[in-house]
Chains A and B, each alone.
Chain A
Amino acid sequence: MKRKRWQRVGALLDIPDDVTMNVTRITMVGRHHLLIENHKGIIEYTSELLRIHVDEGELFIGGVGLSLSVIEPEQVEVQGTIAVMRYV
């Protein structure tokens, strides 16, 4: 209920959802650089696989030589050759 109210306020004021409702914001630059904001933590991490807990569920990232160049409570920056990314 509260979430829908914020969504309406945001739509009315033309404010993006990631600001009003902490929706995950994903920015991908090319194939080797990925920035995920508003995450909830790491579920699994290997050099070929990265599962990140987000508000909408789980974000699955597969690739080669994946590394977390910066990880902070609000955002995580991924580097490596990204092959696949999907919500689970």
Chain B
Amino acid sequence: MFDIGRYRFGAVKVRISGGWIERFINRCLAAGFCLWQIKTDGSDTTLWMRLDDFRRVREIASDSHVEVKVIERRGCPFLMRKLLRRKGLVVGPMLFLLLIHIFTLFVWQVDVVGNHAVDSDEILRLASENGIHVGALCSSVEPREAEQAIMANCGRLVWCGVRKEGTRIVVEVVEKTPRRAQPDHAGDVVARTDGVLTELIVLSGTAVKSSGDTVKAGDTLIIGVEPRYGELADAIDMEATRTVGAKGIARARVWYEGYGEVPLETIKGERTQRAIYAVDVQMGERSFVWQSAEISDAAMYETEKKIVKWRNQIFPVEIIIHIYYECEPISTAISREEATLLAKERAWQSVAERIPKDAEVKERRSDIISEESASIVRVRALAETIEEIGIGPDSAKTETEE
């Protein structure tokens, strides 16, 4: 038996010869030693004992007049001693740790993040000039000084941050957002839609239309120039004027027209109990017919598409099932009054979709334009509104950005 405790502290097998073996054993027991695997062949006796006990066995052996000789050694202390004799095994790990330590003293990677317009090489060059480059000593890197130097030398940056991540240096930058190019002409207020101007108040710029004028979509209402300070207001001379962003309130009377129709008799399909199935197999972008459906041209069908999935897993091969529900045509007739109401509603709906939310509706009118005997009731709706129609350069820009 050789347990882990004995292996950890070491054990020796000794040969005992001569003297009084029994006395030796009893003295060992009295000293608290643990002995095991005691065997005798008449003249010699062998036994195992702990290494610690063996170091104290000399006096006992002397008293018992026996000769003790170690014949086998086992355990960690002996293994360690054996390993320590091999210098390579000791020096190797130490050298390994030393090299790891030395390697971690240097910068191995420099990364630039956050740049789009500014070239990474330019930032790396600036960083390199300030001691941040591959191979530099980590301890020599001064992030704060490098940040300031990069910011000072690269005018296109708003912010720069340098941080150490072990042997990696990250240079994080935020670029300036390029200002939008100013147009030569700062911008006019133009008409968004056709209408008749009812009110034109100029806040900035010069009016080129006046109240009561009929304007078309795109017509300039207020031009983006105004006389310089101290000049006469009516002198629109380009040399004596300055370019401004035109601003103003341009309210106009605008008309909207809508149309709606409803047939007196409609045909709807009602599902029967019959359905036809077709199966397609789709592989990537290509689709194959696995099972086709025989559809009659005379019958009505409602179609439904189902994609076969298994536990929400997406496979490269999809099975698509087309279900054709057979429908029976059923004719539904409505009265002319009901159709007229429905047509008016549709016509007004088409008008309402186009009227801006802030428009003030002044008048509404709807006319039936179909004949009395016609099978379809047609209605035209007209709405008259007062609304803001001017689009200035600011609002135009906002719309573009949106």
Q: Is B371 an interface residue (CB 8 A)?
A: no
Residues on B with beta carbons closer than 8 Å to the beta carbon of A67? 37-40
Residues on A with beta carbons closer than 8 Å to the beta carbon of B25? 41-42, 45, 68, 71
Q: Is B30 an interface residue (CB 8 A)?
A: yes
Residues on B with beta carbons closer than 8 Å to the beta carbon of A43? 22
CB contact between B36 and one of A42, A47, A71 (< 8 Å): that residue: A71
A47–B45 CA distance with the chains assembled, in angstroms: 10
> A73 → chain B, closest Cβ, in Å?
5
> A19 → chain B, closest Cβ, in Å?
21
Question: Nearest chain-A residue to B36 (Cβ)?
Answer: A70
Could you give, for residues 41-57 of chain B, a 1 whenever the CB lies within 8 Å of some chain A CB and a 0 otherwise?
Answer: 11001010000000000
Q: Is B1 an interface residue (CB 8 A)?
A: yes
Residues on B with beta carbons closer than 8 Å to the beta carbon of A71? 25, 29, 34-36, 38
Question: Nearest chain-A residue to B23 (Cβ)?
Answer: A42
CB contact list, A32-88 vs B, under 8 A: 41-47, 67-73
A31–B6 CA distance with the chains assembled, in angstroms: 29
Complex contact A68–B22 (CB within 8 A): no
A42–B42 CA distance with the chains assembled, in angstroms: 16
Complex contact B40–A46 (CB within 8 A): yes
Per DSSP, chain A at the interface is strand
Which bracket fits the contact residues of A? Answer: 10 to 19
CB contact between B32 and one of A69, A70, A73 (< 8 Å): that residue: A73
Residues on A with beta carbons closer than 8 Å to the beta carbon of B29? 41, 71-73
Question: Nearest chain-A residue to B21 (Cβ)?
Answer: A45
Q: Known contacts A45-B40, A46-B40: does B34 contact A72 (CB below 8 Å)? A: yes
A35–B35 CA distance with the chains assembled, in angstroms: 15
A70–B11 CA distance with the chains assembled, in angstroms: 14
A46–B42 CA distance with the chains assembled, in angstroms: 6
A47–B35 CA distance with the chains assembled, in angstroms: 17
- B residues touching A (Cβ–Cβ < 8 Å)? 1, 21-22, 25-26, 29-30, 32, 34-42, 45, 47
18 A-B Cβ contacts within 8 A? A41-B25, A41-B29, A42-B22, A42-B26, A44-B22, A45-B25, A45-B38, A45-B40, A47-B39, A67-B38, A68-B36, A68-B37, A69-B36, A70-B35, A70-B36, A71-B25, A71-B29, A71-B35
